[in-house]
């Protein structure tokens, strides 16, 4: 059984749950850690719509939360306005977007997210979608691979890494995480400290496979469409690319009027929380309120 420790759960609940009987969105349900914590703070008439692209996570979260106040939906958060409208809901009292991977996704070798474990080169959040990371590394041209490694991985050796992939795939299809890691090693150089040199490449492939930044770019639209006056939106980010996008979206909302930042500076987990849950170390929380 996988565990999921929700990051900054008490702080998010205090900032987000302003109406005890309200309707809320958990845009990235994962294994349901935040939602389960929230429901313990909310009233009997409250509702949470939990969206996730991963059907396996959705099933596990539904079983773990085991609460009729949760409505699980197989969808990405960018589709939240349409999904909630199908349930007759057009305004909500708060929304959370936790942009991190679930622990089970990282720890399950069959999903191919982690370079630390042998597994198929998959990386799909939604296992019903066609495109996988293997498709990207085996079919995309040099310039596209170089672009995503630069833009999504911020990898300074992007072109040598892309060339190494093209050279390798001429002789055999690249199908596993270990195979890709071994192909990249000469182009990226030796491991420094505790971070494997292929880490940023794996991040870039995951982002490209799932169109993550395109989804993040829709968060402001989702908030504008769904949040009622006085409601808040909270976003947990885990790397600079998505945090920069959220920072700029929130700034634009404030400048257009009718919105305010709840926390002008990002909130981060305490030392004790990071010690208890090392995967919290890169988390940053931003919260905005509709006036």
pLDDT digits (tens, 9 = 90+) for 198-253: 999 999 999 999 999 999 999 999 999 999 999 999 999 999 999 999 999 999 99
On whether the CB atoms of residues 120 and 176 are closer than 8 A, the answer is yes
Return the CATH architecture of domain 9-104+213-290. 3-Layer(aba) Sandwich (3.40)
pLDDT, tens digit only, all 291 positions of the chain:
566 789 999 999 999 999 999 999 999 999 999 999 999 999 999 999 999 999 988 999 999 999 999 999 999 999 999 999 999 999 999 999 999 877 677 778 899 998 888 999 999 999 999 999 999 999 999 999 999 999 999 999 999 999 999 999 999 999 999 999 999 999 998 766 677 899 999 999 999 999 999 999 999 999 999 999 999 999 999 999 999 999 999 999 999 999 999 998 999 999 999 999 998 999 999 999 999
In the chain, ranges of CATH 1.10.150.170 domains = 113-210
Per-residue model confidence (pLDDT) at position 114: 87
Rounded distance between C-alpha atoms, residue 85 and residue 98, angstroms:
22
CB atoms within 10 A of CB 34: 26
Per-residue model confidence (pLDDT) at position 262: 98
Kindly list the distances between the CA atom of residue 252 and the CA atoms of 202, 257, 289, in Å, as whole numbers in the listed order: 31, 9, 13
Fold of 113-210: DNA polymerase; domain 1 (1.10.150)
Nearest to 134 by CA among 179, 104, 184: 179
Per-residue model confidence (pLDDT) at position 1: 54
Rounded distance between C-alpha atoms, residue 241 and residue 261, angstroms:
20
Nearest to 90 by CA among 220, 239, 198, 224: 224
Burial of 17 (0-12, 13-18, 19+ CB in 10 A): buried
Per-residue model confidence (pLDDT) at position 236: 97
Nearest to 285 by CA among 233, 248, 249, 230: 233
Distance of CA 195 to the CA centre of its chain: 20
Rounded distance between C-alpha atoms, residue 41 and residue 237, angstroms:
23
In the chain, ranges of CATH 3.40.50.150 domains = 9-104+213-290
Pairing of strands 47-52, 227-237: unpaired
Residue 222: left (phi > 0), alpha (psi -120 to 50), or beta? alpha
Spell out a b/e string for 119-133, using b for 16 or more CB atoms within 10 Å of the CB, else e.
bebbbbbbeeeeebb
């Amino acid at each position: 059984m996988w565990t999921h420790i929700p990051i900054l759960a008490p702080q998010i609940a205090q900032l987000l749950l302003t109406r005890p009987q309200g309707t809320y969105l958990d845009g990235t349900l994962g294994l349901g850690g935040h939602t389960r914590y929230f429901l313990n703070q909310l009233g009997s008439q409250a509702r949470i719509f939990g969206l996730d692209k991963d059907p396996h996570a959705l099933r596990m979260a539904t079983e773990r939360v085991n609460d009729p106040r949760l409505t699980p939906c197989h969808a990405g958060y960018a589709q939240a306005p349409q999904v909630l409208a199908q349930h007759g809901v057009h305004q909500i009292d708060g929304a959370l977007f936790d942009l991190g991977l679930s622990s089970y996704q990282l720890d399950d070798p069959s999903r191919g997210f982690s370079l630390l474990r042998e597994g198929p080169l998959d990386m799909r959040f939604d296992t019903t979608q066609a495109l996988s990371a293997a498709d990207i590394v085996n079919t995309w041209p040099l310039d596209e691979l170089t672009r995503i490694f630069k833009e999504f991985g911020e990898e300074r050796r992007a072109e040598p890494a892309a060339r190494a992939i093209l050279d390798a795939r001429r002789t055999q299809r690249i199908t596993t995480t270990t195979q890709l890691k071994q192909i990249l090693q000469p182009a990226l150089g030796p491991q420094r400290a505790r971070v494997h040199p292929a880490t940023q490449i794996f991040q870039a492939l995951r982002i490209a496979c799932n169109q993550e930044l395109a989804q993040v770019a829709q968060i402001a639209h989702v908030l504008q469409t769904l949040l009622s006056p006085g409601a808040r939106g909270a976003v947990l980010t885990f790397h600079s690319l998505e945090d920069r996008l959220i920072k700029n979206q929130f700034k634009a909302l404030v400048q257009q009027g009718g919105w305010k930042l709840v926390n002008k500076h990002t909130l981060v987990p305490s030392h004790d929380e990071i010690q208890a849950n090392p995967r919290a170390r890169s988390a940053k929380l931003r919260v905005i309120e509709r006036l």
